Amino acid sequence: MANDLESWADSATRKAITAFVERVSGPGGVPEAERLAVFDNDGTLWSEKPMPTQLHYIVQRWAEAAKADPALAERQPYKAAVTGDYAWLGGAVDKHYEGDDSDLKVLIGALVGVTAGMSVDDYAASVAEFYEHARHLTLGTPYADAVYRPMVELLRYLEAHGFTVYIVSGGERDFMRPMTQEYYGIPPQHVIGSALGLAYDEDSHEVRYTAGLDFFDDGPEKPVRIWSRIGRRPLIACGNSNGDMQMLDFTRKADGLALLVHHDDDTGRGDEPYDKGADVALAAADDRGYTVVSVKRDWVNVFVSPVGG
C-alpha cells in the first residue's frame, strides 16, 4: 500500500499528522531508534462492531461447548452464543468501558475455559483456520477486508519515516499474532495484548494455556505493558475508546501525537457510527490534546476492499 496517505482527505487532521511526523523525523528531530508508534487494534485498525473479532471466534467455541453439554445453554455467555444474542455480548464490552465489569467477568471466566490445556501451537492453528473461513457478521466479507485502509496507509507512512510500530490492544495477544503480518504488515513480536496464563508441560515439551488470565491489557495496563515490553515512551499513539486514554495520555506527556478515531460515518460506507465506549475520551479530547480522526470527514476510503466492491 502506498506511503502517501491516499485514503486520507486533505484535512486539518492529515496536516497535523504529516507536520508532526516531518518535524520529528527531519533534521534536528528525534533519532530513529526513539521513533515509536503504538496502535490499538479493535476499532482502530479494523472494525469492532457488532462485536470484536476475537469474541466471534470465542462465540463459535462456546456454541460447540453448549452443543456437547446442553446444560451450558441455559447460562451466559453460552446462552448468547447459542441464541445469537450479539447485543448481550457486545453490551458486555460497552459496559466495561462505562466502568461496569460484571458481564465482562462472566465473559473472561468462560473465555479461559476455551483454551485451558491447549498448546500454543494448536491454538495458533485454530485461530488461523478461523481467519481463513470466518466472515464479518454484518459486512459479510472476510475479516481481512474489514481492515481500515487509511490506518494501514498510516502504518506504512510512519515506517517510511523511521518509526517502529507496535500493536497494543485489549485483545488477546496470541489471537492477534496469526494475522498481524498479513493484515497490517506488523510482525507478531510487535504485538502487545491481553494474555492468558501459560505454563510449560514437562511431559509433552509444550507451552500450554492455564485456566486463568495473566493480565487484561486495557486502560492503565496499556502504558505498563508498553514500558515493560519496549522500555520507551511512544511518540505517537492511536486508539478509539475510553480504554485507550491512558495510552494516549502517556504519549501526550512528552508532547507526542495522540490520535483518537471517532466512528461518526453515517454515509453508508459500512462502518457503523457509534460513540458508546468512547464517550469519555471524545469529551476529554480537547482538554487532553487528542487529535480526533473523523471517519466521516478524514477518510476518503474506509476498508481495504470497499463495501460492495
DSSP letter string, 227-291: HHHH-S--SEEEE-SGGGHHHHHHHHTTT-EEEEEEB---SSSS---B-TTTHHHHHHHHHHT-E
List, for residues 57-68, the tens digit of each pLDDT value: 988 988 888 889
Q: Are 142 and 135 in contact (CB under 8 A)?
A: yes
Q: Which residue has the higher pLDDT, 73 or 122?
A: 122
Q: pLDDT value at position 271? A: 96
Q: pLDDT value at position 309? A: 44
Residue 236: name the closest of 304, 301, 182, 162 by CA: 162
Fold of the domain built from segment(s) 12-48+142-298? Rossmann fold (3.40.50)
> Cα(263)–Cα(144) distance, rounded to whole angstroms?
19
Model pTM score: 0.92
List, for residues 96-107, the tens digit of each pLDDT value: 877 888 888 887
In this model, does residue 77 exceed pLDDT 50? yes
Q: Are 60 and 133 in contact (CB under 8 A)?
A: no
The amino acid at 15: K
β-strands 191-201, 206-215: how paired?
Answer: antiparallel
Mean pLDDT score of the chain, rounded to an integer?
Answer: 93
The number of CA neighbours under 13 Å toward the Cβ of 290 is: 30
What value does the mean pLDDT take over residues 105-120?
A: 87
In this model, does residue 69 exceed pLDDT 80? yes
Contacts 24+ apart (CB under 8 A), 82-88: 86/50, 86/51, 86/59, 86/137, 87/50
Helical axes 120-133 vs 53-68, angle rounded to 10°: 110
Q: Please state the domain extents for the chain.
A: 12-48+142-298, 53-133
